[in-house]
Amino acid sequence: MSVLVVIECDKGEVKKSSLEVATYASQVAQQLGTTATAVAVGEATEDNLAKLGEQGISKVLYDAEPRLKDFVNGAYTKLIATAAEQEGAQVLVLANSNIGAAVGSRLSIRLKASLATNAVEMPRTEGGQFVVKRGAFSGKALADVALTTDRKIIAVKKNSIEAQHEAGKTAPVEKFSANLTDADFADAPKQVIMQDQAGGVLLPEADKVVSGGRGMKGAENWNLIEDLAKALGAATACSKPVSDVDWRPHHEHVGQTGITISPNLYIACGISGAIQHLAGVNSSKVIVVINKDPEAPFFKAADYGIVGDVFDVLPKLTQAVKELG
Amino acid sequence: MKFLVCISNVPDTTTKITFTPDNKEFNKAGVQFVINPWDEYALTRAIELKEAQGGGTVTVLNVGEADTEPNIRKALAIGADDAIRVNAAPKDAFFVAEQIANVAKDGGYDVILMGKESIDYNGFQVHGMVGELLGIPTVAPAMKLDLSGNTATLEREIEGGKEIVEVNTPFVASCQQPMCEPRIPNMRGIMTARTKPLKVVEPTGDAPRTEVTEFALPPKKQGVKLIPAENAGELIKLLRNEAKVI
């Protein structure tokens, strides 16, 4: 019996969301009086995997098969299922990422496990039930979900738990093989195309986001959003009307039918705050709203606000960040 | 080519969310239900592909009680050929996936499409479960889908980019924008939808694997702290020293 956590790696680095789920998994293991093992997927280095000891991981399994560098649903599912069987995993933890959700749902059938995605808190035992709190109704509600099978899978929402770092602790990295065959790679990607991200910060992983709406008046003014984002080390985002008119690409659209995010800081510039937009961002820890209309509904959901013209305010904010040093 | 499109019946996106007094269920009173917006991408793309091929069928599948039929008829009005309703309230993602897989198993469908998630439960689970239950590939979430013979080319969203994936039929894909421009029904569609077949079948399969024990609303915000525009830089100091987020 153990806890198994899936660690996603990219270009040798462990993703931030995977450091969070590693912490989550080791805390679940403590609750259950067992240990947490990791199985790593993607392009990883042994040094970085060993550092998962800092999050309390006791052992890391890694298959260095080169075709696993990019996500392949069939191969990842088999690899993780094999690791789960080998380790006798009672609880499997993943990030609530595109990979985590795609693999987690297949694994739940293969491992006969109940699955909770979008988890926002540590699980708890209540009246003999294993209960996980998760986001529902596009962030407009929370649901306590009891997982009723022996095996359980939890996909943890990004930025819901802070990654711990116990400096200097390392975990042994063991070579691992699931005897993957060519058939397991039938759905391997033919091509991977990365998009330009402002300042190199990925929106779904970001803990700070600067976002613009129709109040920005045109794509040509986005340098004001990008300047502030760059100064803060934040990702950029936009509202639906902005991506609908192609001022910004669809992958930056946050909201009910776009990407749902939960950064520590969300700065909304020239966005009035339609209920569909709020649904995608209202689990952000701190929301800042800048809008010249004092009646904009977004101010009701904000922690800090500035009633003013974004074209005057944004340069002042960027300057103030630079002055912080 | 036979397409199966799975649709959910969800509260309209502007709905204020409330629950029954025991907080066990969503309060449906006075709520307008719509086809899940993500599923509209799946439905429209299936119809577009069928039209492009000049043949085939698009079947709509919904797991729901009789009150979902207006939205099933809407899907037929948009252009689906026929519909199946599994007569059961959706209990959890596993329950729904099993119903879909059980219908699909004997249907000979080449392409099974659905939205990436439902906007009420946000599980992002059903597509993968259906793929695994049927033993066929899943591509999720897909932003583009084209067909050439029995081979599909899809663009799949990944964090920071996209992947081009090729799979052979049969397969499952969950859809999201910018796959297509969702269609709205026209008058002719609404008229013909009334006479299109809608079959009702009873649920089969195992018990659900999860149970909602309680719903709650997120904690209320304390209220906004306003900073004068002329002194905007003060905000940055507050974010560092008070909110501690930068």
Q: In angstroms, rounded to a whole number, what is the distance separating the alpha carbons of residues B124 and B128?
A: 8
- pTM higher than 0.90 for the full model? yes
What number is the ipTM of this complex? 0.94
- Judged by CB atoms closer than 8 Å, whether chains meet at B132 and A148 is answered as no
Q: Is residue A245 within 8 angstroms of chain B, CB to CB?
A: no
Tell me, what amino acid is at A167?
Answer: A
Q: Of A41, A153, A155, A38, whose CA–CA distance to A107 is shortest?
A: A153
Q: Is residue B227 within 8 angstroms of chain A, CB to CB?
A: yes
Strand partners, A148: none
Domains in chain A, start-ordered, CATH in brackets?
2-185 (3.40.50.620), 203-324 (3.40.50.1220)
A268: phi then psi, degrees, rounded to nearest 5: -100, 120
Q: Of A271, A279, A272, A277, whose CA–CA distance to A253 is shortest?
A: A277
Q: Map residue B29 onto helix, strand or coil.
A: coil
Largest CA-CA distance found in chain A, in angstroms, rounded = 62
Q: Is residue A168 within 8 angstroms of chain B, CB to CB?
A: no
When the pLDDT of each residue in chain B is averaged and rounded to a whole number, the result is 95
CB-side exposure of B36: number of CA atoms within 13 Å? Answer: 31
Contact A321, A228 (CB under 8 A): yes
pLDDT beneath 50, residues of chain A: none
Whether B221 has a pLDDT exceeding 90, the answer reads no
pLDDT of residue A198: 56
pLDDT of residue A195: 75
B146: CB partners within 8 A, 6+ apart: B49, B152, B153, B154
Collect all residues of chain B within an 8 Å Cβ-Cβ radius of residue A205.
Answer: 159
Considering only residues 110 to 129 of chain A, which have any Cβ-Cβ distance to chain B shorter than 8 Å? 110, 113-118, 126, 129
Collect all residues of chain B within an 8 Å Cβ-Cβ radius of residue A313.
Answer: 229, 232
Q: How far is A124 from chain B (nearest CA, A)?
A: 13
3-state secondary structure A266-291: EEEECCCCCHHHHHHHCCCCEEEEEE
Helices (H) and strands (E) in chain A, counts: 8, 16
Q: Which of B157, B178, B215 sits opposite A143 (nearest CB)?
A: B215
- CB-CB neighbours of B225 under 10 Å: 14
- Which single residue is written with the structure tokens 């309209």? B12
Q: Which of A144, A208, A302 sits opposite B213 (nearest CB)?
A: A144
Q: Which of B129, B160, B229 sits opposite A312 (nearest CB)?
A: B229
Strand partners, B214: A144
Q: Is residue A319 within 8 angstroms of chain B, CB to CB?
A: yes
Collect all residues of chain A within an 8 Å Cβ-Cβ radius of residue B132.
Answer: 77, 105-106, 108-110
Pure H helices in chain A: 16-32, 46-50, 73-87, 98-110, 223-232, 240-244, 275-281, 310-324
- Judged by CB atoms closer than 8 Å, whether chains meet at B209 and A316 is answered as no
Q: Is residue A151 within 8 angstroms of chain B, CB to CB?
A: no
Contact A207, A199 (CB under 8 A): no
- Which single residue is written with the structure tokens 């800081």? A265
Q: How far is A304 from chain B (nearest CA, A)?
A: 5
Collect all residues of chain B within an 8 Å Cβ-Cβ radius of residue A265.
Answer: 239, 243, 245-246
Pure H helices in chain B: 37-53, 69-78, 93-105, 126-134, 187-193, 233-241
Give pLDDT tens digits for A188-222.
Answer: 999 988 876 655 678 888 899 999 999 999 999 99
Question: Once rounded to an integer, what is the mean pLDDT over residues B128-145?
Answer: 96
Q: Is cis: bond before B219, omega within 30 of 0?
A: no
Q: Is cis: bond before B141, omega within 30 of 0?
A: yes
Q: Which of B158, B167, B178 sits opposite A250 (nearest CB)?
A: B178
- CB-CB neighbours of B211 under 10 Å: 17
Considering only residues 107 to 166 of chain B, which have any Cβ-Cβ distance to chain A shorter than 8 Å? 119-129, 131-133, 137-141, 143, 156-166
Q: Of A24, A55, A32, whose CA–CA distance to A122 is shortest?
A: A24
- Judged by CB atoms closer than 8 Å, whether chains meet at B164 and A190 is answered as yes
Q: Could you write out the DSSP letters of every residue in A143-195?
A: EEEEE-SSSEEEEEPTTSSPPP--TT----EEE------GGGGTT-EEEEEEP
pLDDT of residue A273: 94
Q: How far is A15 from chain B (nearest CA, A)?
A: 11
Grade residue B225 by pLDDT with cuts at 50, 70 and 90.
Answer: very high
Q: Map residue A249 onto helix, strand or coil.
A: coil
Q: In angstroms, rounded to a whole number, what is the distance separating the alpha carbons of residues A73 and A78?
A: 9
What length does chain A have?
325
Binding residues of A: 214, 270-277, 291
Considering only residues 24 to 43 of chain B, which have any Cβ-Cβ distance to chain A shorter than 8 Å? 26, 37-38
Helix/strand/coil percentages in chain B, nearest 5 = 30, 30, 40
- Judged by CB atoms closer than 8 Å, whether chains meet at A305 and B224 is answered as yes
Whether B4 has a pLDDT exceeding 60, the answer reads yes
Q: In angstroms, rounded to a whole number, what is the distance separating the alpha carbons of residues A315 and A283?
A: 27
B28: CB partners within 8 A, 6+ apart: B11
Buried b (16+ CB within 10 A) or exposed e, B44-78: bbbbbbbeeeeebebbbbbbbeeebbebbbbbbbb
